[in-house]
Structure 1
Amino acid sequence: MNTASRPEPSEGGGPRIAVFTHDAYGVGHVRRCLHIVQGLAAREPEAAMLLVTGSPALELLRTLPPNADYVKIPTIVTSGTQGTRPPVLPLGLAELSLLRRQVIRETVLSFAPDVFLVDNFPLGSRLELLPTLKELRRIGTRVALGLRDIADPPDKVRRDWARAGIYEVLDRYYDRILIYGVPEVLDAGEAYALSARVAAKIRYCGYVTAASASNGARDQVRAELGVRGPLLLATVGGGGDGFPLLEAVLRAVPLVPDLTALVVTGEFMSAVERDRLATLAGTRRDVLLRHYLRDLPTYMAAADVVVSMSGYNTTAEILATGCPAVVVPRTWRSGEHAKRERRAGSDAEQLVRAKALADAGVVDLLNADGLSPETLAQRITAALSQPRRSPNGTLNLRGQETVVRHLLDLARPRER
């Protein structure tokens, strides 16, 4: 049994910061955590940072800075009629959950961080973080919860948190709640019915995203792609649920004169769906089909219009680059989502975010029930006539630096 205590100072004298993301589906959570780790590395080069994740997106994990490493715990996914399940290891869910719980606990306690940041799910999957949180409270580690601007539809959050005992966990084990958004989009304290004591822990940080690309990088990307006319970037995040939108994009492209489309399927789109898109694209010179792009924000900065769903990371990158965008919130079921058991309100997070950003005038919202090649082509054409927005004129985009500041503040020794 690990009997952790406060660690000796790191060799370079910097703080120890552990970050946890359970990643049961897609790449959004781990990408956001990587942005934060990269910001910490830039601000505090002597810090020692450890990312504990269930994400299978190893390509992303290779982008960690030199003073950071990761521990990969066994992956689980939320899929199929079985709900949460192990996609790789031939173990039962109960056995795999116990394994994850033990690996998380031993890893984090052995590292003995000054600060432990948990992404979006206060107890991880199936209460797996509870033993770790109890021990960290005992040894004096400060613990922060990072929540995206809209964790889930508020009624679902309240229901799930009440059932799982999250309200008590936030009160007892968390020192700070960092909202990766702004109160103008959602007032978390009110929406999630937090007590005054827990709401006092909230800090709104703004949107977390990578640094914007330079004009030189924009020109380099366009030269690399051989694009002279208008460029559309179509992206669907990890891709497991993005086929319907990309199919509509490929059918819309020929309807917009001189348009070239860079279409990114994502790492988790099925081979069958990727093949269907490749067949639809054929040998057309106006479509560039890619499985994965390492530096998506740079390509977004090079584009004249973006078509996407409205997941957190993509919309944050749209805000940061100022690129005109047509967003289609996911309310359909495709790929892994088509297999998942339907849960009331489970798709509403993207719709709430898209409506808020459309009301702020920074995106064009196209509801999925109105999605057709013809309508999409009209929206793309309209977006191409819009000027590029200045990122400074939109919602707070200083999330990365603000989160870093809060974490380093938590890492400072407390007065006795």
Structure 2
Amino acid sequence: MANAVMDPRTETGSPLVKSRPGARVLIYSHDTFGLGHLRRSRALANAIVEAQPGTSVIIISGSPVIGNFEFETGVDYIRIPGVTKLHDGDYRSLNLNVSLDEAVGLRQALILQAAKAFQPDVFIVDKEPTGFRGEVVPALDYLKAAGCRLVLGIRDVMDEPALLVPEWERKGAKTALIRYYDEIWVYGLKDVYQPLKALDLPRDIESRITYTGYLRRDVPPTPSLTKYPKITKQPFILVTTGGGGDGDDLIDWVISAYEADAELDQPALILFGPFIDRDKRRSFVERPARQPKLDVMSFDNKIEWLMKKADAVVAMGGYNTFCEALSFDKRTLIVPRTRPRLEQYIRAVEAERLGLVRMLSDYKEPRTPERMAAALRALSSQPRPSKVVIPGLLDGLDRVRERLTVLTESRPQFAAAYHQAAE
């Protein structure tokens, strides 16, 4: 990693110009739970270095599984101590035997040190303007003073306005958005959903928002080393819950449908995800074993290959899975989580309105095996997403690369800026 330049001037007294070949991008991945933020940050990082050879990207992440993923040349990561979300909504340190406050303090110090050592031209913060419990604020102060361009990247849907507004008020997120960020990238389309509309932002802040479109996904350049079950050699339904930490209801509902309806013809492969509770996983393995049309897998770090092979997809409707279903043009049934947030439900409602997916929810109707069986059976006749023409729908990575080019062309040219920021 590059060392911070400590002497801001040459012997002649002229400003010392940075001598480095390509731009540098630092990404902070807000990943206290699940895989969503990490996988989105990885997609962005890989796309950036593919489009701009010579660029270096570092992802800062607390995800315990970040090492399981492949990154393009030019991308690396810094693993900071993880935190995990408890069932009551609180948090604790994931592995270290320290208090949450101490864990956050350590994370904060490492983020700031990474910013000082790497000297990025652009800093992309995922989802939370101040980071987890404000941990990214010292880095924002330092980088803003140094002339680094600051970007907040958010998914298409955050939460229902009634919860988002007070949450952002409590965290000081709106104030941070106004104070720090040069641009806000919404990884979706304005005509689909406006995640920050309820915040009543000043007009000049609204002008900083770019709706990029959704982030298109491709299969990785090398196939997965995971051995797929025999069930994948025929048309099958892929059932995925993302990270798996909160997908119990979906898995149980699908298994119940096959247990209740012996006439369900199309087989299904259930992908648990790395964060599923071990006891529940054991139960879910035993039940499909008695169903000839079901099989299971634990985790695949190249799920894109499975997604491409599948005939249809059943998912909770997190951001990344939604992007993959659109990218691979899969008939998709969204079964959204409705607790503790309505993010997935809102996305599913809007996507169904546009004809991109169909939704099955237990938000207002009972969760019965018969309802799921009927929905699974209907998948084979469901139109594919490509039947709906929506301009710019999957242009997200292209728009990000365009904006990044603009930002890096105006990057600070003198190491003195970073020296002055450190004083």
- The answer, yes or no, to whether TM exceeds 0.5 is yes
Residues 223 and 235 of structure 1: is their aligned pair in 2 closer, same or farther, counting only changes over 3 Å?
closer
Q: 2:303 aligns with which of 275, 284, 296?
A: 296
Q: Secondary structure of 1:90's partner?
A: coil
Show structure 1 runs of 4+ deviating over 3 A.
Answer: 2-7, 221-230
Total equivalences in the alignment: 396
Post-superposition offset of 1:258: 3.0
* Structure 2 unaligned regions, length at least 5: 9-15, 414-423
Query: Aligned partner of 2:375: which letter?
Result: R
- Does the 8 Å CA contact 1:189/1:199 hold for their aligned counterparts? no
Query: What is the match of residue 8 of structure 1?
Result: 18
Instruction: Give CA deviations for 1:142-170 in whole Å, capped at 9, x if unaligned.
Output: 01000000122223222122222222211
* TM-score between the two structures when normalised by the length of structure 2: 0.87
- Does the 8 Å CA contact 1:209/1:399 hold for their aligned counterparts? yes
Instruction: Give CA deviations for 1:232-273 in whole Å, capped at 9, x if unaligned.
Output: 100001001111211121222363443211110000001111
Query: What is the match of residue 382 of structure 2?
Result: 386
For the pair 1:399 / 2:409, whether they are aligned, the reply is: no
Matches within 5 A, 1:9-408: 9-10=19-20, 13-60=21-68, 62-81=69-88, 83-211=90-218, 225=230, 227=232, 229-253=234-258, 255=261, 256-282=263-289, 284-331=291-338, 346-368=340-362, 369-390=365-386, 393-394=389-390, 396-408=393-405
Q: Secondary structure of 1:177's partner?
A: strand
- Does the 8 Å CA contact 1:229/1:259 hold for their aligned counterparts? no
* TM-score between the two structures when normalised by the length of structure 1: 0.88
Query: Aligned partner of 2:74: which letter?
Result: N
Q: Secondary structure of 2:265's partner?
A: coil
- Does the 8 Å CA contact 1:206/1:399 hold for their aligned counterparts? yes
Residues 299 and 124 of structure 1: is their aligned pair in 2 closer, same or farther, counting only changes over 3 Å?
same
Residues 401 and 222 of structure 1: is their aligned pair in 2 closer, same or farther, counting only changes over 3 Å?
farther
Query: Aligned partner of 1:210: which letter?
Result: R
125-134 or 362-371: bigger deviation: 362-371
Residues 98 and 223 of structure 1: is their aligned pair in 2 closer, same or farther, counting only changes over 3 Å?
closer
In 2, distance between residues paired with 1:92 and 1:82?
A: 16
Instruction: Give CA deviations for 1:378-406 in whole Å, capped at 9, x if unaligned.
Output: 11111112243427734611112211221
Post-superposition offset of 1:295: 2.0
Q: Secondary structure of 1:66's partner?
A: coil
User: Radius of gyration: which is bigger?
Assistant: 2
Query: Aligned partner of 2:406: which letter?
Result: D
* Structure 1 unaligned regions, length at least 5: 333-345
In 1, distance between residues paired with 2:97 and 2:411?
A: 46
Residues 138 and 197 of structure 1: is their aligned pair in 2 closer, same or farther, counting only changes over 3 Å?
same
Give the aligned CA root-mean-square deviation in angstroms. Answer: 2.7
Query: Aligned partner of 1:354: which letter?
Result: A
Residues 169 and 257 of structure 1: is their aligned pair in 2 closer, same or farther, counting only changes over 3 Å?
closer
In 2, distance between residues paired with 1:101 and 1:92?
A: 14
Query: Aligned partner of 1:370: which letter?
Result: P
Percentage identity across paired residues of the two chains: 30
Query: What is the match of residue 337 of structure 1?
Result: none
Q: Secondary structure of 1:159's partner?
A: helix
In 2, distance between residues paired with 1:392 and 1:110?
A: 47
Q: Secondary structure of 1:56's partner?
A: coil
